[in-house]
């Protein structure tokens, strides 16, 4: 049987080429973005946690699959993946038309072991049920830690399925496979139908799922608990903002420190939890208020 191709671009492909394929197919592969040395470092940082992770308890998460999270707190190399300029540029293009600021949605090492069956084909946007219509809520990546082949469980992707109705079932001939070398990355939208592949080989298939979503939606992985303030305060400010320690809109995300009467400010942005002073305590910035008033996104978060 002939399967559709998940198109592959070189690691240095332009945003225009990347977005042209994403807008057409819903998914694209960038080849060999990471060096062998970076892959080795990545493995050394996450493997102890992966080996200690139990397998899934149902057919969707995978009974021979492990899913390991909290990667911002656990892996410096994963922080680099999150901040990858080409991926961020694609996220800017796809998400910023519908929000003032987007955020990190989840981080997860997905290890598919031998014997794992195909995951049911689905849309990642169903994390919010099927209530959200007419807007693309997320951009996803799967970074290949090992080679991805059809035999070892390469991600199933249905190119061109982003506009399908939710109840349409993909036929086998419509399903492609994200076959790629270790260090490559699959970039795909929340609307494209896809699923983990079946591992018919004798070795694990490992990938790192990093996802970005609109700043006004709830994150799938609760970053405030996975990366609490005592860890987040050690990170680069741009990454702090991306995981949620910033206002998602002018009045979206503030908090009140639970202090005795008169001993603290009443309304502060999330940065206050990381040690920011109370000077300027209140909702978001004047720039953010203007963005809300005019329904325009904030300036691009990347230079790419």
Do both 160 and 239 map to the same domain?
no
pLDDT on residue 2: 87
In a domain, 210, yes or no: yes
pLDDT at residue 295, as a whole number: 66
Q: Which of 81, 5, 27, 32 is nearest to 19 (CA)?
A: 27
pLDDT band at 302 (very low <50, low <70, confident <90, very high): very low
Model pLDDT for residues 263-295, shown as the tens digit of each residue:
888 899 999 999 876 555 667 666 766 666 666
210, 66: one domain: yes
Q: What pLDDT, in 10s, does the model give residues 50-74? A: 999 999 999 999 999 999 999 999 9
Per the domain annotation, does 246 fall within a domain?
yes
pLDDT at residue 159 tops 70: yes
Res 250: pLDDT: 87
Show which of 214, 248, 263 is a domain's final residue.
214
The tally of domains found in the chain comes to: 2
In a domain? residue 94:
yes
Phi and psi, residue 211, nearest 5°:
-130, 145
Same domain, 104 and 248: no
CATH number of the structural domain spanning residue 42: 2.60.120.620
Local structure of 49: helix, strand or coil: helix
Residue 59: is it exposed, middle or buried by C-beta count within 10 angstroms (0-12/13-18/19+)?
exposed
> What does the pLDDT read at residue 68?
98
Residue by residue, DSSP assigns 199-248 as --SSS-EEEEEEEEEETTS--SS-HHHHS-HHHHTTS-HHHHHHHT-S-S
What is the per-residue pLDDT for 160? 98
Does 151 lie in the same domain as 56? Answer: yes
Share of the chain above pLDDT 90, in %: 86
Name the least confident of 89-93, 150-154, 263-267: 263-267
In a domain, 259, yes or no: yes
Q: Are residues 210 and 239 in the same domain?
A: no
What pLDDT is recorded for position 119? Answer: 97
Residue 290 domain-assigned (yes or no): yes
- Tell me which of 154, 189, 214 is where a domain ends: 214
Res 151: pLDDT = 98
The answer on 126 and 25 residing in a single domain is yes
Q: Is 34 part of a structural domain of the chain?
A: yes
- Does a structural domain hold residue 274? yes
Last residue of a domain, one of 214, 244, 278: 214
One domain for residues 199 and 276: no
Q: Is the pLDDT of residue 4 over 80?
A: yes
Both 114 and 172 in a single domain? yes
Mean pLDDT of 18-24: 98
**Shared domain check, 238 and 110:** no
Closest CA to 221 of 71, 98, 7: 71
| Domain range for 250 | 231-294
Chain segment 199-251, per-residue pLDDT in tens: 999 999 999 999 999 999 999 999 999 999 999 999 999 999 999 999 998 88
CA distances from 136 to 33, 132, 279, 293 (A): 25, 9, 36, 22
169 and 56 together in one domain: yes
Q: Do residue 128 and residue 203 come from a single domain? A: yes
User: Taking all residues of the chain, what is their mean pLDDT, rounded to a whole number?
Assistant: 93
User: Using CA atoms, how far apart are residues 212 and 122, in angstroms rounded to an integer?
Assistant: 18
Whether 304 maps to a domain, the answer reads: no
């Amino acid at each position: 049987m002939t399967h559709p191709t998940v198109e592959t671009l070189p690691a240095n492909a332009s945003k225009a080429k990347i977005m042209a394929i994403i807008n057409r197919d819903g998914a694209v592969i960038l080849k060999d973005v990471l060096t062998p040395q970076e892959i080795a470092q990545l493995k050394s940082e996450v493997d102890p946690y992966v080996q200690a992770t139990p397998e899934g308890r149902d057919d969707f998460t995978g009974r021979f699959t492990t899913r390991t999270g909290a990667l911002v707190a656990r892996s410096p190399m994963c922080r680099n993946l999150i901040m990858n300029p080409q991926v961020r540029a694609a996220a800017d293009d796809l998400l910023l038309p519908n929000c003032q600021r987007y955020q990190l949605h989840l981080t997860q090492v997905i290890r598919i072991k031998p014997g794992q069956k195909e995951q049911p084909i689905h849309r990642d946007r169903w994390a919010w049920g099927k209530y959200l219509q007419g807007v693309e809520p997320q951009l996803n990546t799967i970074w290949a830690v090992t080679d991805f082949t059809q035999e070892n469980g390469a991600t199933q992707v249905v190119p061109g399925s982003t506009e399908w109705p939710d109840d349409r079932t993909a036929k086998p001939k419509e399903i492609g496979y994200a076959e790629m070398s270790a260090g490559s990355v699959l970039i795909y939208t929340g609307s494209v139908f896809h699923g983990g592949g079946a591992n018919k080989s004798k070795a694990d298939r490992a990938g790192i799922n990093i996802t970005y979503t609109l700043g006004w939606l709830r994150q799938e992985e609760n970053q405030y608990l996975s990366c609490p303030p005592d860890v987040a305060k050690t990170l680069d400010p741009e990454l702090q903002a991306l995981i949620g320690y910033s206002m998602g809109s002018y009045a979206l995300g503030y908090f009140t420190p639970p202090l005795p009467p008169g001993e603290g400010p009443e309304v502060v942005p999330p940065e206050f939890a990381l040690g920011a002073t109370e000077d300027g305590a209140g909702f978001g910035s004047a720039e953010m208020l203007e963005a809300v008033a005019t329904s325009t996104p904030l300036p691009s978060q990347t230079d790419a």
